[in-house]
Amino acid sequence: MPTTVDLIPVDRIIARLGGAEAAAQLTGVGTEAVRKWRQAGAIPSRHWPAVIAATGLTLADLSNDPALRARPTMPETEAVPQAVLQSLAPLGAGRPIASHGVAPHDMIPPGATAALVLADGAVFWGTGFGAHTSTPAPVGEVCFNTGMTGYQETLTDPSYAGQLITFTFPHIGNVGANAEDIEATSIAARGLVVKQDITEPANWRATQHLDAWLRARGVAGLGGVDTRALTVRIRDGGAPSGVLAFPADGRFDLAALRAEAAAWPGLEGMDLAKEVTCRQTYEWDETRWAWPDGYGRQTAPKHHVVAVDYGAKRNILRCLAAAGCRVTVVPATASAEDILRHRPDGVFLSNGPGDPAATGEYAVPAISGVLEEGVPLFGICLGHQLLGLALGAKTYKMARGHRGANQPVKDLTTGKVEITSQNHGFAVDPATLPATAQVTHVSLFDGSNEGLACTDRPAFSVQYHPEASPGPSDSHYLFERFVAMIERR
């Protein structure tokens, strides 16, 4: 038999959110869902975390205020009883910012030891893992990644500098960590948010628990969050600024955390390539991982490629070496003279973080100098955007960006569709490309530009990550295309 519970009337909640349209936008559930709320006179349990986050209501509001009590006829199957709401609090329900600064202990949901505080004041509570945060806590752009594998590669991808990653796949940590599945020596992301608490590793290659691996690198994680509600918020409202706090003493100055998030300027206009690039030139000869021997070595290279490191992933360099190249890696700030003095057969422009327009202030002159010499050139991700800028095009900040290993891209030159790995929040505006550059690839998600090629010189680029670390291997052929371009020259 259904039981009766006391809840806030649905109309009162919608009114508090500013009406049906505002409710749909703030909670990210859509106008049809809000219409069904009113029709049923109840809000489904899966929507309550988003509602609590958007309204700023506390559990006390839901149970102690007689003015907010609902009709005592709502069945438990159509509403959320107090026991469920209590369980939602530490799993990501939003809480209001304390007007007096440091939150009293009784304002923290039971079991919560960490929080994600957004610039608009929404707070997602959960349990912390990894390293405790210092003061000020790490701040960045909150984005989401839809990949089901490769969390270690994702966290060490330099392209994630300046960002807090929400993983939409719930099982993060179950394969542990090892010394091989990394794309850089340090973690580029400023923190991570996951749904389920990380478990003991269950993979034969694991050498360390993810929690210990994060602690050793000074990075904090937040578990037990309703990542679906957070992802919907990002999807519908764009990537917000946020602070991940996991204080050792368990005290949260929510007003200060919100102010820190609100004051962060965002990635637009930010040059982060200088933060993640190598500090000096070095040689690379390691090739891709293969069973049962692991990584190999390129001992008989046929071509010499200079790779400009704007935040290069190791597996990209491995793919170049596996394609028969001796690879010389130079810093992001290398000039055309610095690059060309190595007498390369080809030049590679790597992935990287931040706003391409900001990095382009020093990168574009160098790329232009290489193009003038007619040296074959291949760029990916940030390198693709920088090539576009060097050709005279413009870039823009995307509303949501592409981050995951399941992104469909159409190759316009062949008509084939590739499933690709991507991580970018900026894109090239194809309408601004010159007549000597043609669009070669487009996203089947939103139609944004995913590739270009010059018609008057040996240069091409793609927006996605063809090295597939992590991700599908559909696009490995691009490295062979680059080598073929070198050989034709």
Smallest CA-to-CA distance from 371 within 464, 252, 471, 452 is with: 452
CA 167, CA 145: separation in Å to the nearest integer? 5
CB-count exposure of residue 286 (10 Å: 0-12, 13-18, 19+): middle
- The per-residue pLDDT for 53 is 73
The percent helix, strand, coil of the chain (3-state, each to 5) is: 30, 25, 45
Question: What's phi and psi for 311, nearest 5 deg?
Answer: 140, 40
> What is the torsional sign of CA 189, 191, 197, 198?
positive
Which of the 8 DSSP states describes residue 443? E
- The per-residue pLDDT for 424 is 95
Structure tokens at 242: 């946020």
- The per-residue pLDDT for 340 is 98
The contacts of residue 189 (CB under 8 Å, 6+ apart) are 140, 154, 155, 157, 160, 161, 163, 164, 165, 219
Count of other CB atoms within 10 angstroms of residue 104 = 10
Each of the 489 residues of the chain gets a pLDDT tens digit; together they read 333 234 567 888 888 787 887 787 777 777 777 877 887 778 887 777 777 777 766 545 544 444 333 333 333 333 333 433 343 333 333 433 332 234 443 468 888 999 999 999 999 999 999 999 999 999 999 999 999 989 999 999 999 999 999 999 999 999 999 999 999 999 999 999 999 988 889 999 899 999 999 999 999 999 999 999 999 999 999 999 999 999 999 999 999 999 999 999 999 999 999 999 999 999 999 998 888 888 999 999 999 999 999 999 999 999 999 999 999 999 999 999 999 999 999 999 999 999 999 999 999 999 999 999 999 999 999 999 999 999 999 999 998 899 998 999 999 999 999 999 999 999 999 999 999 999 999 999 999 999 999 999 999 999 999 987 777 777 888 999 999 999 998
Strands, E assignment, 160-251: 163-167, 191-193, 220-223, 241-245
Count of other CB atoms within 10 angstroms of residue 203 = 11
Q: Which of 381, 402, 441, 450 is an active site residue? A: 381
Q: Which of 183, 260, 450, 467 is an active site residue? A: 467
Report H helices in 65-124: 82-88
Smallest CA-to-CA distance from 64 within 37, 85, 91, 93 is with: 85
- What value does the CA radius of gyration of the chain take, rounded to a whole number of Å? 25
CA 256, CA 136: separation in Å to the nearest integer? 9
Report H helices in 264-334: 273-276, 314-322
pTM confidence score = 0.79
Q: Does 467 qualify as catalytic in the annotation?
A: yes
CA 220, CA 239: separation in Å to the nearest integer? 20
Q: Does 454 qualify as catalytic in the annotation?
A: no
- The per-residue pLDDT for 256 is 95
Q: Does 78 qualify as catalytic in the annotation?
A: no
Q: At what angle do helices 20-27 and 31-40 cross, to 10 degrees?
A: 120
In this structure, are strands 449-454 and 459-462 parallel, antiparallel, or unpaired?
antiparallel
Count of other CB atoms within 10 angstroms of residue 209 = 17
Instruction: Fill in the amino acid letter for 233.
Output: R
